[in-house]
Amino acid sequence: MNDFSSAFGAALDLIIRLDTELLDIVLLSLRVSLSAAALGFVIGAPCGAALALWRFPGRRLMIALANALLGLPPVVVGLFIYLLLTRSGPLGALGWLFTPAAMIFAQTVLTLPIIIALSHRACEAIWGQHGDSLLVTGASRLRALPVVFAMARIGLITAFIAAFGRAIAEVGAIIVVGGNIRSYTRTMTTAIALETSRGDLALALGLGLILISISLMISSAALWFAPGDGRR
């Protein structure tokens, strides 16, 4: 019990002192993971909708693939992106390795399967119920897309939150491509990994509590803004 109470103490202490290093770490975590979830959403949601609305060869395979990749290990993604971004690799000229850009890149790859799989499910349910009537009113599938998105918005927001949750919680990919450089690429999770390896378990758990609180706030905010869920 002593460990847990000192973790709460460490967390409170960091928050009360408004530790500037902590603030930078929190802001970087949010910037990287929100950017990755947003990029993943912009790319993945249309893909998920396309898989729901259109019929084309390879469609079932792509759905199976998106679902299978939900279990993609972050460290494998990190290694893959590392080999792409290393100076002697195919994208080395970008100079992204050990920068926040590399971390956003890696987490975007991680969030894509989640957003595709979940937005496909959300859009498919809507399309199954309303697809025929939408087509009867004379709209093409492309024209119907915004309507489907609007009707599936709760499912799409869930997809975004799930993707953000995966991104903000993972450490395997960003520690490999970001390098955990102090005050440059150190995030909540890589700081937790570092403090754990320094044996400062209370501080590590304290950082974990702050991470959970922030994650909770973001998810609540996203749900709060979701229209039509009966709260306003």
Partner 1 sequence: MKHPRTIAIALCILAASSAARAQERFITLASTTSTEQSGLFDMLLPAFKSATGINVRVVAVGTGQALAIGARGDADALLVHDRTGEDKFIADGHGLDRRDVMFNDFVLIGPKNDPAKIRGLKDAKQAFLLIAKSSSPFASRGDDSGTHRMELRFWKTAAVDLSGKPNWYRELGQGMGPTLNTAAAMNAYVLADRATWANFKNRADLDILMQGDLALYNPYGSILVNPSKGAHIKAADAKIWHEWLTAAPGRATIASFKINGEQLFFPLPETPTN
Q: In 3-state terms, what secondary structure has residue 91?
A: coil
Which of 104/171 has CB closer to partner 1?
A: 104
Q: Rounded to the nearest whole angstrom, what is the least distance from the CB of residue 179 to partner 1 in the complex? A: 4
- For residue 80, the one-letter residue type is F
Q: Rounded to the nearest whole angstrom, what is the least distance from the CB of residue 218 to partner 1 in the complex? A: 10
Residue 147: burial class (beta carbons within 10 Å; 0-12, 13-18, 19+): middle
User: Rounded to whole angstroms, how far apart are CA atoms 211 and 15?
Assistant: 12
**Matching residue, tokens 């609540």:** 220
Q: Rounded to the nearest whole angstrom, what is the least distance from the CB of residue 68 to partner 1 in the complex? A: 25
Residues near partner 1 (CB under 8 A): 31, 34-35, 38, 41-42, 45, 86-89, 92, 95, 97-98, 100, 104, 146, 149-150, 153, 156-157, 160, 179-182, 184, 194, 196-201, 222, 225-227
Which of 128/227 has CB closer to partner 1?
A: 227
Nearest Cα residue to 150 out of 38, 66, 45: 45
Q: Rounded to the nearest whole angstrom, what is the least distance from the CB of residue 231 to partner 1 in the complex? A: 13
Q: In 3-state terms, what secondary structure has residue 182?
A: coil
Which of 113/179 has CB closer to partner 1?
A: 179
Pair of tokens at residue 208: 């974990």
Which of 15/222 has CB closer to partner 1?
A: 222
